[in-house]
């Protein structure tokens, strides 16, 4: 966690302003006006009781669950220098100019100026060149930005993958929400359905007593994800699986399939709340992971099993594959043609498309292109973000 570095301040307003800065540095958005309002809040409580101050600031500044849970740590790191205690264990040199305050001393709103022990808001790394590299908000932002543009096959560390999972799930949830076919709400309400009004008015001697409004039937999009888990796609498989898990969530109208040389339905396994059980179920299906690919045959199987049952005009099929296929391209072509006839939207996400100098010239891809509503890259998280806009237009 970045710890904000400040010169010693004496007034409450300055300290609160510094605290707001500290929150901003740690990714919590606080508006400048909040600083002033926060002082109003402190007037309402006993500002000498640090527990009350903690509760009040927590209620006032935190705006979502994640931040709400993090707040106590941020509060302690700023007002009680917990972070610095850890730093001092790590680097003894740093304590030349700093003194650790007792956590029990509620001196945060003393305004009489700094005493010998009152150095809690002395810059942590003041005079310390490491300050810029360890606790700077910009560095964090750059790191996040890099993650968004880094090719996902380079996500090797568990924490990167976790972050990728969270982002992928968020994006997937956002996409699903956007896909509803409801009309945009009008401030005046839904428009009048004149046909139904006239029909209804027959029973009231032509007087249109009942105003009926146009309403679209609630038929949200049915999402179907097909992920290629063959050898060439293995570096991306984990992140794509996370993406598809996010897409599925708890929505029973979504389905997920994995394919290599065979097609497997993994919807129920991914919907399973028990991670261990889900992993077991998936591992039982894992035979053939990282092997060859028969995209055409798998899509043909998919058509045979699900075309009549689950596909329709309100379906969106997302295929995530690099297009390297050991099948005859004509099988893929005929499968896609049949799939498209159902009226569904067809999207092909190809991670290789994001690579420099890659051209989609292999036979399978060129066969597939005429049937696709969207052919897009998906090798970075930023590609997924861009996808949200594309899907909105579709």
* Residue ranges in contact with another protein by CB under 8 A: 29, 31, 37, 40-41, 44-45, 51-52, 55-56, 58-60, 62-65, 68-69, 170, 173-174, 177, 182, 184-190, 207-211, 215, 218, 273-274, 277
Which residues lie below 8 Å from residue 221, measured CB to CB, with a gap of 6+?
176, 179, 180, 181, 253, 314, 315, 316
CA distance 60 to 33: 12
Inter-residue contact 352 to 322 (CB < 8 Å): yes
| Closer residue to another protein, CB minimum distance, 156 or 189 | 189
Give least dist CB 212 to another protein, A.
Answer: 11
Instruction: Output the six-digit token pair for 345.
Output: 């939207």
CA dihedral angle for residue 110, residue 113, residue 114, residue 119, rounded to 10 degrees: 50
Which of 182/341 has CB closer to another protein? Answer: 182
CB of 48 vs another protein, minimal distance in Å = 14
> Number of C-alpha atoms within 13 angstroms, CB side, residue 226?
29
What whole-number distance in Å separates Cα of residue 179 and Cα of residue 345?
A: 12
For 261, the token pair is: 């040389």
β partners of residue 254: 223
Whole-angstrom distance, CA of residue 233 vs CA of residue 130: 41
Choose between 157 and 250: whose C-beta lies nearer to another protein. Answer: 250
Residue 196 or 338: which CB sits closer to another protein? 196
Nearest distance from residue 271's CB to another protein, in Å? 10
Closest CA to 108 of 11, 253, 41: 11
The alpha carbons of the chain give a radius of gyration, in whole angstroms, of 29
- Least separation in angstroms between residue 68's CB and another protein is 5
Nearest to another protein of 96, 188 (CB atom): 188
Give the full edge-to-edge strand order of the sheet including 263-265.
Answer: 263-265, 254-259, 222-228, 315-320, 345-350, 374-377
Residue appearing with tokens 């105003």: 211
Nearer to another protein, 86 or 215 (CB): 215
- Smaller CB distance to another protein: residue 192 or 369? 192
Question: C-beta of 375: minimal distance to another protein in Å?
Answer: 29
For helices 381-393 and 137-149, angle between their N-to-C axes, nearest 10 degrees: 70
Q: Minimal distance in Å, beta carbon 36 to another protein? A: 12
Q: Which residue has the tokens 């794509």?
A: 240
Min dist CB 185 to another protein, Å, is 4
* Phi (first) and psi of residue 287, to 5 degrees: -60, 120
H helices of 207-312, in order, are 234-248, 267-271, 275-284, 295-310
State the nearest-atom distance from the C-beta of 252 to another protein, in Å.
12
Q: Residue 35 or residue 234: which is nearer to another protein going by CB?
A: 35
CB of 209 to another protein, least distance (A): 6
- Residue 34 token pair: 């909040």
Between residues 106 and 351, which has the closer beta carbon with respect to another protein? Answer: 106
CA torsion sign, 47 to 48 to 51 to 52? negative
């Amino acid at each position: 966690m970045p710890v904000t570095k400040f010169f010693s301040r004496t007034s409450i307003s300055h300290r609160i302003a510094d605290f707001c800065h500290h929150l901003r540095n740690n990714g919590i958005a606080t508006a400048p006006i909040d600083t002033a309002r926060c002082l109003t809040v402190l007037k309402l409580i006993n500002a000498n009781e640090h527990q009350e101050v903690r509760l009040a600031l927590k209620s006032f500044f935190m705006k979502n669950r994640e931040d709400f849970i993090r707040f106590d740590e941020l509060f302690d790191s700023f007002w009680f220098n917990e972070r610095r205690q850890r730093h001092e264990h790590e680097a003894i040199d740093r304590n030349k100019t700093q003194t650790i305050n007792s956590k029990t001393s509620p001196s945060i709103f003393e305004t009489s100026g700094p005493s010998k022990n009152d150095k809690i808001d002395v810059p942590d790394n003041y005079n310390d060149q490491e300050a810029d590299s360890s606790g700077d908000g910009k560095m964090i932002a750059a790191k996040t930005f890099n993650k968004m543009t880094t090719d996902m096959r380079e996500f090797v560390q568990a924490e990167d993958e976790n972050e990728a999972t969270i982002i992928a799930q968020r994006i997937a949830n956002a996409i699903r929400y956007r896909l509803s076919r409801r009309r945009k709400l009008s401030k005046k309400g839904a428009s009048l359905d004149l046909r139904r009004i006239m029909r209804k008015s027959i029973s009231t001697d032509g007087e249109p007593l009942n105003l009926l409004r146009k309403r679209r039937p609630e038929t949200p999009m049915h999402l179907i994800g097909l992920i290629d888990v063959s050898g060439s796609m293995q570096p991306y498989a984990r992140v794509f699986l996370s993406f598809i898990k996010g897409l599925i969530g708890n929505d029973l109208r979504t389905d997920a399939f994995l394919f290599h040389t065979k097609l497997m339905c993994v919807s129920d396994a991914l919907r399973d709340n028990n991670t261990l059980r889900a992993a077991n179920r998936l591992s039982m299906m894992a035979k053939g992971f990282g092997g060859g690919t028969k995209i055409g045959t798998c899509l043909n199987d998919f058509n045979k099993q699900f075309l009549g049952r689950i596909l329709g005009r309100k379906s969106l099929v997302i295929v995530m594959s690099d297009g390297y296929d050991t099948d005859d391209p004509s099988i893929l072509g005929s499968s896609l043609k049949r799939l498209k006839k159902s009226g569904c939207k067809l999207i092909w996400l190809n991670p290789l498309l994001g690579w420099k100098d890659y051209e989609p010239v292999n036979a399978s891809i060129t066969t597939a292109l005429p049937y696709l509503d969207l052919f897009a890259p998906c090798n970075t998280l930023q590609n997924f973000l861009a996808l949200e806009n594309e899907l909105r237009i579709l």
